Structure 1
Amino acid sequence: MDYLVTRHARSRCTQRGIPQRGVELLVAFGREAKAVGGAQIIVLGRKERLELESEFGHPALARLRIESDTFAVTKDGCVLTVGHRLKPVKEL
């Protein structure tokens, strides 16, 4: 599914050092969990990170700054915000 990235999410990417390509890969390979208000939170678990590393290589992921704590909040086909988790995501 293609996601539209909101202006707010683009701003947060810039502020938090997460490149746009990193968000695209996070959405494509990440695992979804339910969030408040009918939204979904997308995170990279260990399995998804290994899949990304096997496909793109570890150096490529390091350049994209996709860490295991990076998340995206989506709803209705839009990426609402992105960031770095401070607490574990439940229901994965």
Structure 2
Amino acid sequence: MAFDLSKHASDRSQQRAIPPDVVEVLWEYGSEMRRRGGDVLFFDKSARQRLCRDLGSQALRRCAKALACYAVVDDNGRIITVAHRRFRFKRP
């Protein structure tokens, strides 16, 4: 599945040292929640379980620190920005 990064998202991922591979995995496996006019993709427990099922627990443990990030997606399916998670996303 292909994803479209905005210029801002591309710049931010580079500045924040979030590799494109992590953004791709986030796009494919991340959980989605509507927040402030956009959809937020992030790794919660169920997303990590799906990832573990496909990649294996060893691979998940090696990249666990890199999975502490999120992406904001607009209504057209374009990734607006990416960042490291510094807080929990609370479900409405």
CA RMSD of the aligned region, Å?
2.1
Give the 3-state SS of the residue equivalent to 2:33 in structure 1: strand
Provide the TM-score with structure 2 as the length reference.
0.81
**5+ long unaligned stretches in structure 2:** none
Structure 1 stretches of 4+ with a deviation exceeding 4 A read 58-61
Amino acid at match of 2:27: V
Cα deviation for residue 65 of structure 1 reads 5.6
Amino acid at match of 2:51: L
**5+ long unaligned stretches in structure 1:** none
Distance of aligned partners of 1:12 and 1:64 in 2 relative to their CA distance in 1, 3 Å threshold: farther
Contact 1:19 1:64 in 2 (8 A): no
Provide the TM-score with structure 1 as the length reference.
0.81
Amino acid at match of 2:8: H
